Structure 1
Amino acid sequence: MAAVQDHPTTKNIKDTVQNGENAKAQAAKTKDEFADLANARTTPDEPATTGQPLTRRQPYWKNPRATGIAFVLSVAFIFAARYLNIIRYIFKGIYITLGVTASAEIAGKALLGRGLTSQFRPRKYFTIPKASLERLLDDMEQLINFFVIESQRIVFAENVYATVAVFFASFISYFLIKFVPLWGLTLITTTVAYLAPLIYIKNQELIDSYLEQAGHVVNQQATQIRDLAAQHTGNAAKTFQTYAGEYTHKAQETINQYRGRSASPEIKKEDFPSAPKTEPVAEKPEPVAEPAS
């Protein structure tokens, strides 16, 4: 028995069994974590500035195992879409499957009098449960509305830090798209989307302190600019009032001067002769004597 226990084959079997048990335990943990992730969806307590409730959120980064699996699957899908013709392989799998099932059915009826494929036909075809389908559709609706609402919140600067972050991301992507292919840009975006929140969670206190300091600096600069602008505005208003008063006074004096010059003297009736009251009598011409004949 000691020789059997110490034999390398026995040790290999024990290691295999132990590895299988560890794998089974890890699979159970992963399943439980995904179940917890599905049940942990909550609606944020704080609504949007418009008063609308936000969509449900899932704490992906608080479940590192589920987050890692989702990240690996996303990266694998990107590489598969880049280096594999997925649509072509889908059609290939369809025609191979249908060809095998049709050939087995025809050959079975020809040789054995009954089809082979029909022997494996289930008694009841698989259907998606209504509850699962409704839950899937509800998740799709929540996901679509998440992007719709968050894009509007970013555009209207509800969270200035998020708006600035998306601005820099768009600015960098504008230049990267000239050199990086679309699949590479998608890979970079996926990596940042998964790793950036994880880095923030691991260093939340440090990052929040830096953000708070930056906010204080921005507020101080904004206050100084606002005070300086108010000071210049007040000085400009006073200067304008001074010049307006001076110009108003000068305009009033000029108007008074023109009024004094335009005053006409009194006109006396004796300075002009009186008009005749009777019409003049026309004089008759004297007769001209005719010469003697």
Structure 2
Amino acid sequence: MEDTQTMNTENIINDFILKDNKENDQPPIEQHHQHSTMEPTKETQKELIEETTNMLEKLKEVAANKDKAEKKRQVKNIENPFKNLTHRVTQLVYWENPTHSGAILAASLSFLIFTAYYSLFNTFFALAAILIGVNWIYVMGFKQFQSLINQKPVNPHEHLLVNKPWYIEREDAEKYLDSIIDTANFVLLEAQRIALVDDPMRTMRHVFMFYILWTLGTWISFRTLFGIGLILSFSTPITYQKNKEVVDEKLYQFNKFLRSHFDRGLTIAKQHSGGVYEKAKSFAVTKGLVNDDKTAKKEE
């Protein structure tokens, strides 16, 4: 009996040891299996690389489209750079400050008259030679006087040379360049709208204005034309303000007359273009280049 019990006890212990070994050996097998399944193959790596490349290309296209859309939006939203200047010009031409307006008009007319008889090129270099020569005499005389009184000769403009040099700050230059670029872009966009007939009436007004300037330019010089325009710009607003009702009525009648003739011209142009189309079509039918509508229906 004791031998039998001993054998049973040994069998139970052996079974327990075998189970424990199986449980201890199983996780490494599962981990190895998971590791083997998680390890990517070469084909999987190629597919991942291709998908990543395609995604990057799509992102680049989206970014480029966004940049183009943003650029178009910025172009459309360019503000008028002459807005502040318009207010100042309005103050001048309406003589809100008579002294200032009179001084500007007198100086402008004097400049036109002066340039009619003297060259700006010669005037500039003559003034430069005279002023720099006089300043040279002043500096050398001042230094000689200091030497006579036993002082160290010093340039009288030394404080200006040290503290106030003549140069343009980079930040100011960038600001001025931005203003110039904005002004040029605004002018170019307005010219594009006029030339490509964004507004037909606006384009027609500019054509009429250019034609008048072209005609006047064949009769009188540019300087004379500019002088007349300067005088009219300082006199017309005041005259219009005093006779506003009469002038508005005349302008309305002229605008109505111009619009009616413009619409009539468009109608005539459409009629003539339609007639030309019919003639061209009949000529093509007679030559056998195209089939007539009736012939095409019969064939059907």
The answer to which structure has the higher helix fraction is: 2
Larger relative contact order (CA 8 Å, sep ≥ 6):
2
**TM-score, normalised to structure 1's length?**
0.47
